Structure 1
Amino acid sequence: MMDSVILEKIAALGAWGWWIFGVALLGLEILAPGTLFLWFGVAAILVGVVDLVVDLSWQSALLLYAVLSLASFFLGRMLLRRGAKAEGGDPNLNRRGSRYVGREFVLAQPILQGVGRLSIDDTVWQITGPDLPSGAMVRVERLEGARLVVAAV
Structure 2
Amino acid sequence: MTGGGIGAGTLWLALALLLGLAELLIPGVFLVFLAIAAALTGAATLVLADLPLAGQLASFALWSGVTVLIGRRWYRDYPIETADPLLNDRAARLIGEIVTVEQAIDGGHGRVKVADGVWPARGPDCPAGTRVRVHQVDRGVLVVEPLAIFTAP
TM-score (norm 2): 0.48
TM-score (norm 1): 0.48
Question: As a proportion of its length, which structure holds more helix?
Answer: 1
- The structure whose Rg is larger is 1
